[in-house]
Every structure is written in C-alpha cells, then in structure tokens.
Amino acid sequence: MYDVWQIRKDFPILQHGVNGGPVVFLDTAASAQKPHQVLDKMRTVYETAYANAHRGSYTFAEEITTEFEAARRTVQNFVNAKEAREIIFTRNATESINLVAASWGEKNLHVGDEVLISQAEHHANLVPWQNICEKSGAKLVVFPIADDGSYIKEEYEKHLNERTKLVAITAMSNVLGTVFPIKEMVKSAHTYGAKILVDACQYAVHQKVDVQDWDCDFVAFSGHKTYGPTGIGVLYGKAEILSLMPPYQFGGDMIDHVTYQKTTFADIPARFEAGTAASVQAIGMAEGLKYMLALGMENIEAHEEELTNYATMRLNEVPRLKQVGTAIDKGGVFSFDVTGIHPQDLAFVLNKENVAVRTGHHCAEPLVNRMGYTSLTRASLGLYNTKEDIDALIAALLKAERFFRED
C-alpha cells in the first residue's frame, strides 16, 4: 500500500510549514524536498566517517571510499547500467551534458555534422549544443512539437539523416510534462548511426529509468531532483563510448602518471571525476534513490498518475485559466496562464495561501515562446503530494482570479 500521509512524515520541511500554516509544495520539478533518511545519512557520514574519498589509507578515508563506491553501485542499480564504471558523478545534470558536449562533441563533431534536439529542451540541453556546434562547425537542428506539447514522430524521423551524429532529447519536459518515447527514439537514431543523450532530470523523479532497455548512449540527471542533495549529478554512458572520450577537466585523481613533459589518464570513471569528490553528496543522493526504490517506482508512478489526472480535471474549474501542455503522454507538471494576471502576481497571491509554485520561462525560454508566452506559472508534483494539495492550489487560484477580476 502507498500511504502518502505516512510518507509525508519522512519529510521534515513538510512538517515545518510557513506563515503559521502547512505548506503546499508544488515545485518538485525545480528541486525535490529531502526525506530524513537522506539528511540523517549525510549527517552521520560527516560526524563519523568524513575524509577525502580515494585519497587516504586511514580508517575514515577507507570508510568514506567504501560508501562512495557503494553509492555508485546504487546509481547503477537505479538506472540498470551494466557496469558501475559507466556511472560518472558530476555536480549536476547540466555538468553531465556539458561533459558530453565538451569531451565527446569536440572529438566527434565536424563541419557538415548535425546535432538534433526538440523544441521542448531545457537550456541545459540546448545551450551546450549551440556552443559546441559553433566551435566545430556542426549544425544544430531543432524538430518541432505539436501545439498541445505532444511528440510528433513524423517530425523527429524526418529530421534524422546520415549527417545526424547526436540526438539530445528530454525524457520528460520540465514545462509541459510531455513524456517522450525514448526507446523508440533511440532505435530510430541508431538506425542512422547517431548517438543519443537523454536528459532524464524530470523523468527519473517519476518513472523507472532503464538504460539497457532504452539502449541509449548517455543519460543525465541530478541528485537534488531525486530527493537527494544539491551539488551532485550523474552521467551514465556506455563503457565503450566513455573509454574513448578524452577528459573533461584536469586535476587530482583522474591521472595515471604525470611528469613535467606528459600526463596519462586513468580509466573510467576516475578519468571524468577530477578533484575532490562530492562524496557525502553522492552518498546522500544514493540514499534518495534507495528511498524511491523502497517505495517502488511503479507505486510512485501510479500515485502520481492519479494526482495528474485529478489536477488536470480540477484546473479546468478555474475561470480564464489555460493549461499549456496537454499531451496524452504527460507527467505531473502543469504550466498555465490565467488571462489578465501576470504569473508573478499570481504566484505572490498563491504564496499568501502557502502554495509554492514557480513562474517564468523555467529555463526553457524558446519552448515557452513557441507555446505563445513569455512567462508561465508552473505547479509540479512529487511523491509526497496529495489530492488535498491540489484542492489547496485550486482554492488559491480561484481566490486570486476573483481578486484580480474585481480589481
């Protein structure tokens, strides 16, 4: 049984409240709240076993190195990678994507090549490809989505060709909630010999990631969205591809041998983890993943699907509100506009009702513009949300709509 009220007790911040009342947190798409299991684990490591991983031979160093590599195996299990060495720890998903662009991209992209992305990409899966294409002479190609935010198979496949060297695609839009058919898209990309990178930041919070089933070449996601700490992210890459990529950054612990004349580099994953590791953050991230796995990804998905359907229905009750992104294959992300109310003003009123949402272009300005807006309000779900949270959102929106209409 998925007991959401029992689950909520694991999240101290949800018990804390704001403005003298309970908080309705609907901004998990930006960053998820943390269960005490994550907080307790990180505190324990800092208090009992903190040292620099992979650096010392004393007890603390050995203990944290063991925990750090156990965290890597937890991530391996979470995404179903073949080998633990296919898991690279980064600062966040943004760095993971930049690593691929800088390392794989600079080596493999040339004049005449193409990188294919969708209109639904976050800046982190757009700007790095713009940059590497400018440097390499390759061309960035963008395939369109439908007016309701849906994936258009014909448009994707029409833009694939022998010049396509890499496809970079979100698994779930952070603005529209659209879920893309990754396995099908990978198969099409590989038909042309293209590599494919999946931005799984939103998807990994809600549904199971299986890199072997997808057969994708790279996957990026962040710890802070999967109920872990900030400052830690993951890049998954197939071992045979990562092994041929040059280092992204240079420094300690990523080398094999150094002289003043020449340096040789370590094997993966160390080659891509220069400098002092964010070891405690990685351990905390693993604890967040274990928390999700213990609840059951299928249970989280079922709970959130029920909430998504309920929220979609109830948002239609708000006068002058238009939902932006209404694809059939959609997760718990709701962007909307209320005619006559600026999103920032709307969020201000919602905050007075203790409802936390986000406004703006959500680091996806071209996508928001494509949908016909410059700014949108966004509510997003996590595993701790309830129908009562949705009801509170609707009540606050109705109050705001009446206030601005009368004003």
The residues annotated with a catalytic role in the active site are 363
Q: Residue 354 — left, alpha, or beta (φ > 0 → left; ψ -120 to 50 → alpha)?
A: left
Q: Give me the half-sphere count of Cα atoms (radius 13 Å) on the Cβ side of residue 10.
A: 21
Both tokens of 50, joined, read: 């903190």
Spatial separation of the C-alpha atoms in residues 269 and 397, rounded to whole Å: 48
For residue 397, the surrounding DSSP H or E stretch is helix 387-406
Phi and psi dihedrals of 210, rounded to 5? -135, 95
**E strand or H helix that includes residue 304:** helix 297-315
